[in-house]
Amino acid sequence: MKPIVTWILLANTPEASVLVNRGPGKGLAVLDGVTFRSEEAADPRDKAGVGHSIAGHSVSAVEQANPQNKVDAEFARKLADLLSGRLGANQFDRLIVVAGPHMLGLLRASFDDALKAALVGEIDKDLSGQSADAVASHIEGIIAV
């Protein structure tokens, strides 16, 4: 019988990696060659503008868009596309996402229906710098490690 393979995506905005569990009692292992880095956000080229009010002599500042938000959203889309392709290639059966709240929200918005169906749990903490054993203690309530 084929074991159920679970990928655990550890993501934050600049980088992501994957741990794998190949069944109960097998623990977690780092999946070699499956690490990702986000691009650096470009600094804005000019300052935010000022708008004049039509109601009088007052002015108001125009808020500058944060270029990092665009880079973060693109990184989440790339991760979702890659995971979707790997799921389609039957490299894993289930998915657990462990990410900080900002990145978790971006990933949720980027997942297609197949990834949403494979998703068995989420943890809204950035554990990307933790060891596999530390991550295992956090996901024990979701799957048997």
More confident residue, 13 or 135: 135
More confident residue, 134 or 45: 134
pLDDT, tens only, 62-77: 565 676 788 899 999 9
* Residue 46: count of CB within 10 angstroms of its CB: 6
Predicted TM-score of the model (pTM): 0.81
- State the average pLDDT over residues 11-24: 91
More confident residue, 58 or 30: 30
Domain residue extents for the chain: 6-40+67-139
Is residue 60 pLDDT above 70, yes or no?
A: no
What is the reported pLDDT for 85?
A: 95
8 Å CB contact between 108 and 4 = no
pLDDT, tens only, 84-110: 999 999 999 999 999 999 999 999 999
* Check whether domain 6-40+67-139 has CATH 3.30.420.60, yes or no: yes
CA dist 62 to 47, 104, 105, 116, Å? 10, 29, 26, 38
